[in-house]
Structure 1
Amino acid sequence: MRIAVVGAGGVGGYFGARLAAGGDEVTFVARGAHLEAIRAGGLTVRSPLGDLRVAPDAVVPTIADVEAADVVLVAVKLWDTEDVARQLRPLAEGGAAVVSLQNGVRKDDVLRAHLPESSVMGGVCYISAFIEEPGVVRHNGSLQKLVFGEFGARAAEPSLRAGALLDRCAAAGVEAEVSADVERVIWEKFVFLVGLSAATSAVRQPIGVVRGTPGSRALLLDVMREAAAVGRARGVDLDPGLADERLAFCDTLPAGMAASMFTDLRRGNRLELPWLSGAVAELGGELGVPVPRNQAVADILSPYVMGTPAGIDA
């Protein structure tokens, strides 16, 4: 299978390298120091499941350099989605299936606004991975899973392209499954991610502190309940006890775990806040669902969205 991976960071770098090792023709789109390092020495993935190395010629600087693809995996930061979607149109019109592995629930709406609707498949990933240094991706732990599937009426029938991608994941040693209700899967992950990112970033402490303090624990639960309520208002079939179940899951996480948004906040980097609690606040307003906790988080963290302002200590 010809696979283009747009964004060779932790997510794209890891899954793309696994698929390449499984025999697929994988092309990575990268930029900056990461691009130059891969060009010089290839892409290295360090993982408890076995290290990998992808040859330097597997990377290109722009989507236009990808001649053709059967599948495109989108793994860029959410603020780059619209720009990437516009550039992907020739590949999508050429028959490529586009699968976003990004966080958030509006990513596929953005893709469909610029691409043929039939080209977009839903997807989520479960992994802890990051760029350790230019040219090197570090995978933490053993979790590495993809879930993908068709949207709407197309999900009711077997999908040849989803089945083909599932087969390639199996050949690469990537845990994967095809979902008949991928929108629900996306929202289930979103509810948890919004809670983890909002609570750890607003409190500026990892999950152990957040869940162990009554006030911040309540914040975590309320943020997730609001996100789930918005999803239900949009017609997504979310279990009424989803937020409570996700809170119980948070109790099983390593105490030092925090969302990537909290890491970005500490480093002074740009935040995905508008696509997380910000998206819950915006959707809640559109749908008439009260979301005061998410709105408060979005307001509190708003000065840091574009990075830590000069003279401010995050």
Structure 2
Amino acid sequence: MRIVVVGAGGVGGYFGARLAAAGEEVTFVARGRHLEAVKARGLTVRSPLGDLRVPGEAAVPSLADVKDADLVMVAVKLWDTEEVARQLRPLAEAGAAVVSFQNGVQMDEVLRAHLPAACVMGGVSYISASIEEPGVVVHHGTLQKLVFGEYGGRAGSPRADDLLERCLAAGVEAEVSADVERVIWEKFVFLTGLSGATSAVRQPIGVVRAAPGARALLAGVMREAAAVGRARGVALDPDLADERLAFCDTLPAAMTSSMHNDLLRGNRLELPWLSGAVSRLGRESGVPTPRNDAVAEILSPYVMGAPRQAE
């Protein structure tokens, strides 16, 4: 299968490398020092499940350098989605399937605004991985799973079943969902809570869940996100937020979120697509979201990175 991975960071780099090592024809679209390192030395993945290195000859700086594809996996930060969607149009119109493994719940709306709707599958990734240094992706822990499927409640499709077979052959845990929109929202509820609480408190999950006020913030953020999803017609379990809170109690105390890490590093935040999206969609749906409103307001000075000191 000719697979294009747009964004060779933790998610795209890890899963793309696993598929490449299994013999799939994978092209990585990357940039900057990471691209230079991958082209020079290949892409290295360090993982408790086994290290690997795949050659970097096929790494390119732009989708314009890709001529053919059967499948495009989108794994860029959410603010890059619209630009990627515009660049993807020639490949999608030529028949490539497109599946996003980004965070958030609106990325596929953005893709469908620029691409033929039929080419877009829904997807969710479950992994903790990051770029340790240019050319090197580190997998934290052993969780590594992809869930994907067609919109519209279809149990499967030839392209989804084909991707499933190739993922399993590559040692990637994967499954096809007949209700991928629900799966996307389930992850969104948890991720919005984890990212919002750890970033607002500026502490890992162990500190957040142990402090009554911070725990209430975590629970409230997730309950609001779930309420917004249900108001928009997504069949979320009534106890989803409470189940996710119980799940947070099982996580390693030192675990944090990528948004918290970006905050500490002074990087741009995905806040507008997480708690910011809950607030925005809540207003559209008539659902109060005071906890997410507060998180979005507290972190607003940091959305574009570390703020400059006022003169």
TM bin, normalised by shorter chain, reads over 0.9
Cα distance in 1 for residues equivalent to 2:30 and 2:273: 22
Equivalent in 154, 162, 167 of residue 169 of structure 1: 167
Q: TM-score, normalised by structure 1?
A: 0.98
List structure 1 runs of 4+ shifted beyond 6 angstroms: none
Cα distance in 2 for residues equivalent to 1:282 and 1:129: 29
Cα distance per residue 1:19-75 (max 9 Å; x no partner): 001110000000000001111111111111111111120201100111111110000
The answer on whether the counterparts of 2:146 and 2:174 sit within 8 Å (CA) in structure 1 is yes
Cα distance per residue 1:61-113 (max 9 Å; x no partner): 10011111111000000000000000000111111110000000000000000
Deviation at 1:157, TM superposition (A): 5.1
Work out whether 1:107 is the aligned partner of 2:107: yes
- Could you tell which deviates more after superposition, 184-193 or 37-46? 37-46
The answer on whether the counterparts of 2:156 and 2:176 sit within 8 Å (CA) in structure 1 is no
**Matching residue's letter, 1:202:** A
Question: What does residue 281 of structure 1 align with?
Answer: 279
- Could you tell which deviates more after superposition, 69-78 or 157-166? 157-166
Work out whether 1:249 is the aligned partner of 2:261: no
Question: What does residue 48 of structure 1 align with?
Answer: 48
Question: What does residue 59 of structure 2 align with?
Answer: 59
Secondary structure of 2:57's match?
helix
Cα distance in 2 for residues equivalent to 1:88 and 1:304: 30
Cα distance per residue 1:132-152 (max 9 Å; x no partner): 000000011111000000001
Cα distance per residue 1:229-269 (max 9 Å; x no partner): 00001100000000000000000000011111000000000
Cα distance in 2 for residues equivalent to 1:294 and 1:302: 12
Cα distance per residue 1:134-190 (max 9 Å; x no partner): 0000011111000000001xx335300000000100110100000000000000000
Secondary structure of 2:140's match?
strand
Question: What does residue 86 of structure 1 align with?
Answer: 86
Cα distance in 2 for residues equivalent to 1:208 and 1:254: 7
Question: What does residue 68 of structure 2 align with?
Answer: 68
Secondary structure of 1:225's match?
helix
Cα distance in 2 for residues equivalent to 1:220 and 1:309: 25
Alignment of 1:105-144 (within 5 A): 105-144=105-144
**Matching residue's letter, 1:257:** M
Cα distance in 1 for residues equivalent to 2:261 and 2:87: 29
Alignment of 1:148-297 (within 5 A): 148-152=148-152, 155-156=153-154, 158-297=156-295
Q: TM-score, normalised by structure 2?
A: 0.99
The answer on whether the counterparts of 2:156 and 2:177 sit within 8 Å (CA) in structure 1 is no
Alignment of 1:10-25 (within 5 A): 10-25=10-25
Cα distance in 2 for residues equivalent to 1:257 and 1:295: 24
Task: Specify every segment of 5 or more residues in structure 2 that has no aligned partner in the other structure, as ranges.
Answer: none
The answer on whether the counterparts of 2:150 and 2:156 sit within 8 Å (CA) in structure 1 is no
**Matching residue's letter, 1:133:** E
**Matching residue's letter, 1:254:** P
Cα distance in 2 for residues equivalent to 1:122 and 1:33: 30
The answer on whether the counterparts of 2:149 and 2:156 sit within 8 Å (CA) in structure 1 is no
The answer on whether the counterparts of 2:154 and 2:179 sit within 8 Å (CA) in structure 1 is no
Cα distance in 1 for residues equivalent to 2:69 and 2:21: 17
Task: Specify every segment of 5 or more residues in structure 1 that has no aligned partner in the other structure, as ranges.
Answer: none
Deviation at 1:12, TM superposition (A): 0.3
Identity of aligned residues (%): 78
Question: What does residue 96 of structure 1 align with?
Answer: 96
**Matching residue's letter, 1:2:** R
Secondary structure of 1:58's match?
coil
Work out whether 1:298 is the aligned partner of 2:279: no
**Matching residue's letter, 2:200:** A
